[in-house]
Amino acid sequence: MRKLIVAFVFAVLPAFGLAAGGAGVPMDHMEPDHANKASLQRGVALFTNYCMGCHSMQYARYKRVANDLGIPEDLYEQNLIFTDAKIGELMKNSMKKDMAAGWFGAPPPDLTLEARLRGESWVYSYLRGFYKDDTRPTGVNNVVFPNVGMPHVLVSLQGLCGVKPNVGVPASVEPLSGNINNGELCPSYVSEGSMSEAEFDQAMYDLTNFLSYTADPVKLERERLGIFVLIFVAIFFVFAYLLNREYWKDVH
Ligand code: HEC
């Protein structure tokens, strides 16, 4: 029994390691859904338009992404490849790491495995966490990643928040007045963007969902196979049990 308990403790230990990732920064929870193809398609469009100029995705291939997300290859090639890359190539970009480090203070990292590294909730919160800060060279700072080198590239969509946004701050209702505190992400914008707060949250959900997919493109397939494996184990158990009973039948 003791051995069993020790084995169980070791089996659940890695889960605590995962939970520890990104501790200490404010975060809003994000639950990825790789079965939501429409969300992933909007995500890849956002990524290609707003992120790929700086960030590569060098462990993913255009063709694989197109197929997994249900986008016809010719449509993908026409609308989501801006270079002369072919559909079978890896999703690299041509930004030189050392030059980029000079421009931004740090090179934009490859984002294929970012959601694995930081977790989906971190990425979702980070993308919604920019605010105006004139002491920074880019004019913005981030509540999740203080003094980040990345500019607020989505300012035309979100607008620019004048104060620290309420990332990871739950909304609360004042008991006497009934006023809702922290109900919105940003209480005061310096400039407006083209999206409402709800639309921007949805767009960042889609973008994070796409980054979650690239970090683990076989998740759906794994879950589908997992069910068959469990069914197999359940059926196998019956035979193993009967065989075991047969073997031990005459031992007293
Ligand atoms: C103008 C170039 C540029 C663009 C465009 C850009 N980024 Fe960045 N990004 C950077 C730089 C530079 C860093 C590194 C910042 C640092 O380490 O201080 C960074 C860092 C990040 C990080 C954190 C990486 C880490 O350290 O874990 C994430 C996540 C990220 N970017 C996502 C995005 C997404 C999503 C988009 C598209 C909406 C995007 N970026 C567009 C330049 C860019």
Instruction: Give domain limits for the chain.
Output: 29-241
d(CA 84, CA 92): 12
Backbone angle region of 124, left / alpha / beta, with phi > 0 → left and psi within -120 to 50 → alpha: alpha
C-alpha separations of 210 from 68, 109, 137 in Å: 11, 17, 29
| pLDDT > 70? residue 22 | no
Give, using CA atoms, the residue closest to atom 17 of ligand 1.
106
123 lines ligand 1 (CB under 6 A): yes
% the chain with pLDDT above 70: 96
**Closest to 31 measured CA to CA, from 121, 117, 115, 114:** 121
Higher pLDDT, 157 or 22: 157
d(C-alpha 144, C-alpha 31), whole Å: 18
55 lines ligand 1 (CB under 6 A): yes
Write down the pLDDT at residue 178: 84
Residue 169, H or E segment: none
- Tokens encoding 146: 């203080």
Give kind and range of the element (H or E) at residue 24: none
Q: Which residues pair with 173 in a beta bridge?
A: 180
- pLDDT greater than 80 at residue 240: yes
Could you please report the per-residue DSSP string of 59-110? EEEHHHHHHHTT--HHHHHHHH--SS--TTSEE-----HHHHHHHHSSPPPP
For ligand 1, whether the C-beta of 21 sits within 6 Å is no
**Which tens digit of pLDDT belongs to each residue from 45-75?**
999 999 999 999 999 999 999 999 999 999 9
Top pLDDT among 138 and 21 is at 138
Distance between Cα 58 and ligand 1 center (Å): 15
Q: Whose CA is nearest to atom 24 of ligand 1?
A: 109
pLDDT in tens, 94-138: 888 888 888 888 899 999 999 999 999 999 999 999 999 999 999
Q: Best of 54, 118, 195, 200 to mutate for ligand 1, by most ligand atoms within 8 A of CB?
A: 54
Ligand 1 centroid – CA 229 distance (Å): 39
Confidence label for 12 from pLDDT (cuts 50, 70 and 90): confident
Q: Is 161 annotated as a binding residue?
A: no
Report the candidate in 61, 69, 77 with the shortest Cα–Cα distance to residue 43: 69
Which residue's alpha carbon is at the smallest distance from atom 40 of ligand 1?
51
Name the architecture of domain 29-241.
Orthogonal Bundle (1.10)
Can you count the helices (H) and strands (E) in the chain?
10, 8
Ligand 1 atom 16: residue of nearest CA: 149
